[in-house]
Structure 1
Amino acid sequence: MEKYTVGEIEQQLFGKEKVNKETVKELKKDGRKGVQQLILKWEKQEEQKKKIHSQFIEMTSFERQYQTQGYQYIAGIDEAGRGPLAGPVVAGAVILPKDFYLPGLNDSKKLTEAKREEYFKIIQDEALAIGVGIIEAAEIDEINILQASKKAMLHAVAQLGINPDFLLIDAVKLDTPYPYEALIKGDARSISIAAASIIAKVTRDRLMRELGILFPQYGFQANMGYGTAEHLNALREYGVTDHHRKTFAPVRECIK
């Protein structure tokens, strides 16, 4: 293998989806320090891939459980935006195909913005059905944030276009004709709920960036409506908009 430069060997290890085991075996005989460092790096990467694959399989356990019971269209449901001082609460509902595979899919809050956008497109392209429910700040004030979150979830289910026969919901019990299971921290335990969390989070973030253009003084495009120091200072200086949740204490205190 010494006929290859270290750069060429790096391309062999990291430029392909799969690397032949015999190739690695031969490379381990190469005495060059740079080559041995590349092998260590490659082995760590492979170990991480296995870990992510195992995590994904583990996150399909609820889907597989209910599929064996005869349920075909299992919808995952999650919401984004329960805690902010401004903007809507947004729910996503997603029905994935049985052969869906997206290693790394997890709770949207644990992913980078770039990764969420990447996964959002993949989910949109491959999901059997997607629904979105949006409840604005004024209605949140009328019915409270928990009821608004539930209403957004029910709207998302109604928008699916396919009638689900089972729901996997992140931590919330719904008044719905469909059988369901509410999972605590479901966005880290079910791929369907994780996919719904991506749809909800990305959709809401895009809406908040649009509000950020209309109301630049509040920094919505950065804080997404959460009570950051910048946002609280802006509330005190500029007052409250129609997009603020007036029943939330920090906002209520700034109403003049």
Structure 2
Amino acid sequence: MVYFISKENQNLLWNVIHNNSTIQIFLKNMSTDDKNHWFRSIIEHFYKKYGPVDLSIYQLKTINKEVIIYIIQYVQKQNNQIQNQSLSDNFQQIQTPAYEKNNREEEYISQFEMRQKEYNQMLEKKAPDEINFSENIEKDTPIQDMKALMKKHIEERDMDISWQNQNPKLTINEEQVSLETNAIDEIKHQIKNEKRKISWEDEIDYHEKYITLKENYSMLYEDYLQMKMNKII
């Protein structure tokens, strides 16, 4: 191994490894002392491996090749470890960043709590009072004097057409008046018969019957007035 550890052989190995770009990058950030120490440790490793034996030229070349391959593999391994460690550190920094309380986060939480409070208040509002759709109709009481009611109704209708009092008296066909009078008498007769059938104290549908009779009478009375108007025209 004298030839292997000779100065000439070590210079040869040193120059060869410096021609490799990967090794150049690896040694770039190392100081001169660190480079020398690293290289001597490799020479020492192979010297111990093969022992103090005499080597032929062929054996020396073989060991030199083995040293160069070893150095290249070692550098690649170190570079991979450094790269993996760098990636791991970056990943760790991304996954577990230092937690700092964010004012914007507090603002979002405050806004959410305020909206939640408003929503709860809306739910707690009392429902509006139920609307009473029932009609406020005065209690229907029995009518004791139908004649007075009919008379009052006729007087009110006469007041609506009071303007006719200013017109000259009309000569009305007696036959038409007789028919109209008979119609009125018939209504009165119907009302009289209805009065006999209705129980003024207990009849439930009295109000509806009264309205119906009242409407029939009003229609006939309007027809009567219309006939009078036609005579005027």
TM-score (normalizing by structure 1):
0.16
Higher strand share goes to which structure? 1
Higher relative contact order (CA 8 A, sep 6+): 1
TM-score (normalizing by structure 2):
0.17
